Structure 1
Amino acid sequence: MAIRLDKVSDREKLKPRNAPYWQRLDRGCMLGFRKLTAQSTGTWMARYSDAESGERPKKSLGEFGELLPNDRYSAAKKAAEAWFEHKGRGGTSETITVKAACEAYVAHVRSEKGERQAADLSARLTRWVLSSKLAALPLSKLTEAKVKAWRAALAAAPVVVNPYAASEQQESRARAPSSVNRDMSALRALLNHALDARFVTSDAAWRVALRSIKRADGRRTLYLDREQRRRLVEAAPSDVAPLLRALALVPLRPGALGALTVASLDSRLGVLTVGHDKAGQDRRIKLPEATADFFRAQARNKLPAAPLFARADGKPWSKDGWKGPIKAAAAAAGLPPETVAYTLRHSAITDLVTGGLDLLTVAQLAGTSVAMIERHYGHLRADHAAQALERLAL
């Protein structure tokens, strides 16, 4: 006799037992209900028969005790069908949480890109994902609404402007769209990795919810001329001054410069190999002789694995380390308070573009795309175009 689980009255007539009662939903797909005592709410489960492997994995769906008895069957059936679809697409039978997916992704990045990038990713995920309600959530229960709620909380989180000041003197500002994009990209990347690993079989929960904010990286407007950059370097502490001078000499991202080791510099040829960067693949930059001499001086008497630019304690520089000293140096040099490490990169790129260097070469030196250089710095070529046209006049 076929078992019917959709009616409350029929379920109440079932005798308590350890083995579940099963109802067939579709070929190879069974919905189960188990009552251990006459007074218990009962537990729902699903069983899937894999025709190729012959395996019959099971999944506990829960009691659905928060619902009215008449609504529990529909909820259990919906949960079972979602799991059957997941299994049919090749998904895992294990319950993988967002936290577990984080750990798997960090391990993947560590094996593919090294400890430094894994540590940076881990810190970002720990701050924004593992501390949120999403961490304990199974990937199978991730919804677009929950991801959107996480994104809204991220966007609303304030940014401390002066983290090195005393707590009562700290100021905060609203998070910039570009910051939201950067922090959001970590969650999007780990979920895409989970999709590739078949921990989940659809990206519907985050495909739209984690879409980047368009035109978030606005054009940087603060430019320091050579004299201002010189004053900034002179006002900086002795350990951060070489880092600032290097940023003024080569248009690298501050993080990429801070990640350089002595082995990154070929002292004989004056060639710098940049690896830790958004650009992905390592790139080699031939330095002019004066710049090469400056870099050689930073490498002198250091082991190959040592940071090329190090803090006073010998540790490599990071954004949390240079923020305070640069802010203090800018104030001492009489420069705008919004001066940051990236200001030097922007100023160096600006000088290269206005100096007439072609945009492709500028992009290669900066480790970015020609499209980005064109979008943010192309307007600087207007004067050159006007001068060129003027020379055509008869």
Structure 2
Amino acid sequence: MKVKLNTVAARDALPVRRDPYWQRIEKGCYVGYRRMSTATPGTWLARYYDDAAGKNRWTTLGALDHLPANERFDAAQRAAREWFDHLGKGGSDENCTVRGACERYVEHLRHESGEAKAAEASARFRRYVYDERLAGFDIKKLTAAHLKDWRRKLAAKPVASKDGGKRADSTLNRDMASFRAALNLALADGLVTSSHAWEQALRPISGADGRRDTYLDPDQRRRLVDAAQPALQSFLKALCALPLRPGALAQLNVADFNARLGTLRVGADKAGADRRIPLPAATVGFLAEAARDKLPQAPLFVDANGRRWDKDSWKWPIKAAVSGAGLPDSVTAYTLRHSVITDLVSRHGLDLTTVAVLAGTSVEMIAKHYAHLQQDYARNALAQLVL
């Protein structure tokens, strides 16, 4: 039976039933209307015949009861055509909200990069995405305007720290990165067929990360360690001896250190894969001291309260040590990683591939930031070629 859904009178005349009524809008494409009670406004649907799969695919468009009754068919038809277009571009027929896309990304990280990275992303989403109105949007309905508004609000939020200061550009970049990655995964999975909404709106601020601009020479590093509170000294000393991210160092357990073999296993890190670092005798000595009388699964480094260090617990003690040592205010825990990598490349001439392995990053990243430090070595090598 041919059905007309485009007028209120025609819809009101339809008998109540569970199965939807369908009106064809083009070959293989239909708008549907389900009316299960005279007391409810009814629900709109879209149906598409997939020739390749040999079956119908359909989705719910909602009641559309925020619109006058005489405008609902046109709105349903527009929404259906958008969905048909999405499918035509290879999109999935799975419906997914922005929050759902973020949760999918957390699960992806859990399987690909481990629990630590998944927990970090999940915490950012809880703080900055899940309580926002856009979290409930169908990801296909997300627009650049929505994301620009979200970005403005995030930039205006004070940082969650003791002083509640202005959010730095580098902090904003890090807070946006997980969200952008979640949306890109949704694109890869066909939940959305274009990155137009976030391509510009969530573009990172270039040149925002100034952490690599501050370098401490070995004498300055010793002064920083000496100025630190006793519980922090061991942690800082390790950062001065190893090219590790502070977070990765903080995640080490006693079992990760093998004094007999002189190695350190680094597992919980941004790079994801485990790696083992060969240690010189002096480093083995002070790590053995840090591990003394601790169980294998205990943190290798702990704060004054016996808890594992994290970015919130080390921030202010390091600031106090920086002040006590008379060093620039720009010095952070990450400054020590940068300084150690700088010395490995410029003072000790270690090749970039080995530095990348030790630091747990890509050769491309090391080359981007540190290759220029090898110019003197290159100049000396070229000088040996002169006849």
- Shorter-chain TM band: 0.7 to 0.9
- Give the equivalent residue in structure 1 for 2:22: 22
Note closer, same or farther for the CA distance 1:192–1:21 as it changes in structure 2 (3 Å cut): same
CA contact (8 A) 1:92 1:200 kept: no
Identify the residue that residue 136 of structure 2 maps to in structure 1. 136
CA deviation after TM superposition for structure 1 residue 237, in Å: 1.8
**Over residues 165-208 of structure 1, what are the superposed CA-to-partner deviations in whole Å (9 max), with x where a residue is unaligned?**
xxxxx2623522x3333222211222233345554455443345
Three-state SS of the structure 2 residue aligned to 1:281 is: coil
TM-score normalised to structure 2 length: 0.84
Q: What's the secondary structure of 1:273's corresponding residue? A: strand
CA apart distance, 1:116: 2.1
Q: Which amino acid aligns with 2:337?
A: R
- Quick check: 1:16–1:36 contact (8 Å CA) kept in 2? no
Structure-2 residue corresponding to 1:63? 64
Q: Secondary structure at the match of 1:122?
A: helix
Identical aligned pairs, as a percentage? 50
Taking structure 1 as the reference length, the TM-score comes to 0.83
In structure 2, what is the equivalent of residue 290 of structure 1?
282
Question: For the residues of structure 1 that align with 2:153 and 2:68, how far apart are their CA atoms?
Answer: 29
Aligned equivalents of 1:97, 1:13: Cα separation in 2: 30
Q: Distance in 1 between matches of 2:145 and 2:58?
A: 29
Q: Per-residue deviation at 1:14?
A: 4.2
Give the deviation of 1:345 after TM superposition: 1.0
Q: Partners in 2 of 1:32 and 1:392 — Cα distance?
A: 79
CA RMSD of aligned residues (A): 3.3
Which residue, out of 275, 283, 301, partners 1:309?
301
Matches of residues 196-345 of structure 1 in structure 2 within 5 Å? 196-197=188-189, 199-200=191-192, 202-218=194-210, 220-345=212-337
Helix, strand or coil at the partner of 1:103: helix
Equivalent pair of 2:41/2:63 in contact (CA under 8 Å): no
Partner of 1:375: 368
Q: Contact 1:16–1:37 (CA<8 Å) still a contact in 2?
A: no
Query: Which residue identity is paired with 1:335?
Result: L
Q: Distance in 1 between matches of 2:30 and 2:306?
A: 62
Unpaired runs of 5+ in structure 2? none
Residue ranges of structure 1 left out of the alignment (5+ in a row) = 165-169
Shift of 1:344: 0.9
Aligned residue number for residue 350 of structure 2: 357
2:341, 2:375 → 1: CA distance?
A: 16
Give deviations 1:33-56, integer Å, cap 9, x for gaps: 456889986653324456647566
SS at match of 1:268: coil
Partner amino acid for 2:279? L
Range 42-51 or range 369-378, more displaced:
42-51
Q: Deviations over 1:264-294 (max 9, x none)?
A: 2222111112122222322221111111222
Query: Is residue 272–residue 285 contact of structure 1 (8 Å, CA) maintained in 2?
Result: yes
Contact 2:225 2:236 in 1 (8 A): yes
1:103 shift after superposition: 2.7
Q: Is the 8 A contact 2:16 2:37 kept in 1?
A: no
Q: What are the equivalent positions in structure 2 for 1:103-182 lying under 5 Å apart? A: 103-159=103-159, 163-164=161-162, 170=163, 172-176=165-169, 178-182=170-174
CA contact (8 A) 1:45 1:62 kept: no
Contact 1:231 1:333 in 2 (8 A): yes
The aligned length equals 382
